[in-house]
Amino acid sequence: NAGVTQTPKFQVLKTGQSMTLQCAQDMNHEYMSWYRQDPGMGLRLIHYSVGAGITDQGEVPNGYNVSRSTTEDFPLRLLSAAPSQTSVYFCASRADRAGTGELFFGEGSRLTVL
Amino acid sequence: DAKTTQPTSMDCAEGRAANLPCNHSTISGNEYVYWYRQIHSQGPQYIIHGLKNNETNEMASLIITEDRKSSTLILPHATLRDTAVYYCIVRVKAAGNKLTFGGGTRVLVKP
């Protein structure tokens, strides 16, 4: 198992550009989520999904869109990047949707918006 | 979810036990205590969780006080690779969706 795979690992954008951060897991996990981590800070939840076709907002959803068309993939879209979105983004998955298990995290995607 | 309070940082000697405290005085009866750690810039890693009883696994032990208002994560024999930020999180197990990470404790294991 590869676990949770995030691409790209590094990305530089200009203000106003759009892009998609990819997240895939091969563990057949129902729950997937996206977090962002700013320098010296803890993680903040952006969006999450408890199964294919189901998504919901987390703590800081503005400026981000998600979709969950398959169990394996949970892409995060930035429609018009802003410097405030410069951060490290982590995707995480969990086996069950009810929250009884541990979260598995990807290695992160480091985004810089100029 | 209940708020947690952890020391900002602490040092530990290699080979000694590291005891990481966490205060969660507003915890409610159905809330679990979870511990994760983040090594350098990697994704967080699950360590252990518990409700009332003390728990132990291959990584650590979790000691929860009888009133459940505080807990301690114990790394029995700290190694240099245990240098990381450790997050104590309290949440309802069946809440499903939100796991809130605070500032954590930055642990430096010294030779």
Give the length of chain B.
111
Residue B62: burial class (beta carbons within 10 Å; 0-12, 13-18, 19+):
buried
Q: From the CA of B93, how many Å to the nearest CA of chain A?
A: 5
**What pLDDT digit, counting tens, does each position of A51-104 carry?**
999 999 988 999 999 999 999 999 999 999 999 999 999 999 998 766 667 889
Contacts of A53 (CB under 8 A, 6+ apart): A68, A69
Kind of pairing, strands A109-113 and A87-94? Answer: antiparallel
Mutation for B interface: A105, A107, A109, most B CBs within 10 A:
A105
Q: Which two tokens stand for residue B49?
A: 């969780």
**What pLDDT digit, counting tens, does each position of B14-70 carry?**
999 999 999 999 888 888 899 999 998 899 999 999 999 899 999 999 999 999 999
Q: Which two tokens stand for residue B72?
A: 């301690």
Q: What is the pLDDT of residue B98?
A: 66
Q: Please report, as a single letter, which amino acid is at residue B19.
A: N
Are B48 and B59 within 8 A, CB to CB? yes
Q: What is the pLDDT of residue B95?
A: 45
Residue from the list B36, B46, B96 with its beta carbon closest to the beta carbon of A99 = B96
Are B101 and B91 within 8 A, CB to CB? no
Compute CA distances B59 → A45, A60, B91, whole Å: 26, 32, 21
Q: Does A4 touch chain B (CB under 8 A)?
A: yes
Distance CA B48, CA A41 (A): 22
Contacts of B54 (CB under 8 A, 6+ apart): B61, B62, B63, B64
Residue A8 has pLDDT above 80, yes or no: yes
pLDDT > 70 fraction of chain A, expressed in percent and rounded: 96
- C-beta atoms of A100 and B43 within 8 A: no
Q: From the CA of B40, how many Å to the nearest CA of chain A?
A: 11
Q: What is the pLDDT of residue B21?
A: 97
Q: Does B103 touch chain A (CB under 8 A)?
A: yes
Q: Angle CA(A87)–CA(A90)–CA(A93) in degrees, nearest 5? A: 160
Q: Which two tokens stand for residue B28?
A: 């409610």
CA-nearest residue to A9 within chain B is B42
